[in-house]
Structure 1
Amino acid sequence: MKTNPEIDRGFYIAGWLLIIAAVIYALIEKITGVRLMAYYPPCAFHMLTGLYCPGCGGTRAVRALMHGRLLLSLRLHPFVCYTFFLGTIFMVSQTNGKISHRKTGMHFRMIYLWIGLVIILVNCIVQNTLLIRYGIRIPG
């Protein structure tokens, strides 16, 4: 399958911007002690329906991952861990390819998006089934 270098380049730049933003966030939280995620608005879908939306738990999962709590992050929203590991492999392999001046490394494939979509949908169905059928809430 042919790859598109422009898409890889866009994801690579976005990856570095995300890394920089995460480092800045972590520094602000570490220096000031202020938890910026505490000021995020609650999920409007969850507030209105009482059900989990496909993204519910994502912010808490990111926070858990940033604090090294991989299993909690995976439980809150597995898409966050999937994206983290896929992104890490992509960034390391792309950086290695750029340093070695080779066109090697991981490349964007549509299947990665489809797998991510399946993870999001299955997570939403499982969380809402646990909530509706058994009254089990996913704690954070």
Structure 2
Amino acid sequence: MNDRSTEQTLYRLGLAAILVVAAAAFFIKVFEIPLGGPLLACPLYSLTGLFCPGCGGTRALRLLFEGRILASVICHPFVLYGVAVFSAFMISHTLRILTRGKIKGFAYRHIYIKIAVALLILNVLVKNLAWLIWHVDLIQWASGHF
């Protein structure tokens, strides 16, 4: 698959993701589904007390939508990074389509995946070390302080 084909596929997947998220948001709002508690409990955290690479992601997304950017980044840095990269990619490719190629789309690079993996690893290390050494739950702390 060439770069243009890969980017077209990623753009279509992005559009599908937007539709799925919009539908989920609609059902959450209409049926008043709570986004916390046992529904989204992390099995690793529940069993061991240690944070997994995804712990804090849902709260980080909620905090980001509330405009609490620093708290969101502390809860899970991948969320802001993912939203920024996804938004830049989708907006630039939509503009490329609308302008018939006069505006170039945001090009996919493997480095974006490497940065994402590094953020996930850093996230789990920092959260667990803060908990094990200082007994500080950074997710709870950030949610209440910023």
Classify the secondary structure of the residue corresponding to 2:106: coil
Tell me how far apart the structure 2 counterparts of residues 65 and 16 of structure 1 sit (CA, whole Å).
21
Match of 2:113 in 1: 113
Query: Within 5 Å, which residues of 2 pair with 1:125-140?
Result: 125-138=125-138, 139=140, 140=143
Following superposition, the deviation at residue 38 of structure 1 comes to 4.9
Unaligned 5+ residue runs, structure 2? none
Name the Cα RMSD after superposition: 2.0
Match of 1:22 in 2: 21
Identity of aligned residues (%): 31
Tell me how far apart the structure 1 counterparts of residues 26 and 64 of structure 2 sit (CA, whole Å).
15
Following superposition, the deviation at residue 17 of structure 1 comes to 1.5
Q: Which amino acid aligns with 2:97?
A: K
Tell me how far apart the structure 2 counterparts of residues 133 and 37 of structure 1 sit (CA, whole Å).
27
Tell me how far apart the structure 1 counterparts of residues 23 and 69 of structure 2 sit (CA, whole Å).
21
Structure 1 pair 127/36, CA: closer, same or farther in 2 (3 Å)? Answer: closer
Asked if 1:5 corresponds to 2:4, the answer is yes
Tell me how far apart the structure 2 counterparts of residues 133 and 16 of structure 1 sit (CA, whole Å).
43
- For these two proteins, the number of residue pairs brought into alignment is 138
Following superposition, the deviation at residue 14 of structure 1 comes to 1.5
Following superposition, the deviation at residue 120 of structure 1 comes to 0.8
Give the TM-score normalised by the residue count of structure 1.
0.86
Tell me how far apart the structure 2 counterparts of residues 48 and 37 of structure 1 sit (CA, whole Å).
18
Following superposition, the deviation at residue 134 of structure 1 comes to 0.2
Deviation digits for residues 94-130 of structure 1 (CA, Å, limit 9, x no counterpart): 1011111117111110000001111111111110110
Give the TM-score normalised by the residue count of structure 2.
0.83
